[in-house]
Amino acid sequence: MSHRHHLLEKIQVELAAAVAVAVVYFWAAPALPLSDPQWPIVFLPTGNLSAAASAALVIWGLTVLCVLATVSARAEGSMLAALIGAAGYSMYSPQIRGLLWYRQDSLPSLYALLISEVLLLSLILVGVAILVTLVRRTVLAACPACAWRSPLLRQDQTPVNWLERLFGPGYHIRGLAGQSLTTLGGRIRQSAMFLATGMLLSMVLLVLLMRSADRGQIVFALLASFTLGVLVAHQLLPVPNSILSWAMPVPVAILFYLLAMVSSSDTSSQAWMSVHHYGRALPIDWVTVASGGSLLGFWISERLHEVRHFETSEESGE
């Protein structure tokens, strides 16, 4: 892989993401069959599962197109473009304020539904990952020369069990304190530390950045906090597999919704107005904006590691 290929990947992913988010924001989101266009984009609290199915089909369809547009990029680039495109739903959605007012007498049960919806929508994430894998495998079988070959991965290793497939092939870079990532045990330990560090950093940044209940502020805070949190965690504790990155927002969302559930147990008529900002993020925000931000942080960090690898190789004359 050359500097030219590195630049080509960046252009492919950025263009695919820009087109995808425009398609969702200007076409798919307005066409979503919602019971009330003034309400936020939620599905379980309104019982509108047909809208959830519609959004899932659109996101999966966009995923296929994004893979075809970025087939020579790494798999994370294809998935990143799809998730950034899906974030158009979050950008289009009204605030949760109306739903909180409507359900003010049963806010804890509302947050129980939102937790269930996060778990339901996480299936969309899994579907995106599966589609990226299957479509890329099909296309690259016809064009092996198009395959992305990272200089950080050991090309001489073939995964022999599900653990090796989950935690990725050997990594030609070392983790914190020089821990080797060429062994499976080293990658498992590193992955656990990466997940804990990324979650902690992202949660702290989210609390600091989410300063109002405005939709733009919520979307920005989710994107920025998970991008920076995963970027820093991956620079300190690099891992070869991105699953932990894009799945990271799901347990964080559940934790914040549980906190909102406990803090909203007050049954006064004004309780809905005092719901904390983190309790106003929608499930669709967590699985598109936050997961997209996490994957963006992973993608940027891998590229930074590769640039340093290029420089080291050139200095050594390899």
SS (H, E, C) 70-99: CCCCCHHHHHHHHHHHHCHHHHHCCCCHHH
**What's the rounded Cα separation, in Å, for the pair 67 and 83?**
12
Euclidean distance between CA atoms 122 and 137, whole angstroms: 23
Summarize the confidence of residues 81-105 as an average pLDDT.
89
Query: pLDDT for 169-187, tens place per residue?
Result: 545 555 544 455 666 677 7
Task: Give residue 247's pLDDT band: very low, low, confident or very high (50, 70, 90).
Answer: very high
Q: In this model, does residue 149 exceed pLDDT 90?
A: no
Model confidence band, residue 88 (pLDDT cutoffs 50, 70, 90) = very high
Q: What is the pLDDT at residue 266?
A: 61
pLDDT at 161 over 50: no
Give the model's pLDDT for residue 278.
Answer: 83
Q: Are 297 and 237 in contact (CB under 8 A)?
A: no
Grade residue 258 by pLDDT with cuts at 50, 70 and 90. very high
| pLDDT grade for 20, boundaries at 50, 70 and 90 | very high
Contact call for residues 82 and 61 (beta carbons, < 8 A):
no
Query: Does residue 146 register a pLDDT over 90?
Result: no
**For position 260, what pLDDT does the model report?**
86
What pLDDT does 160 receive?
A: 44
Q: 162 pLDDT exceeds 50?
A: no
Helix 291-316 vs helix 215-236: crossing angle, to nearest 10: 30
d(CA 184, CA 193): 14
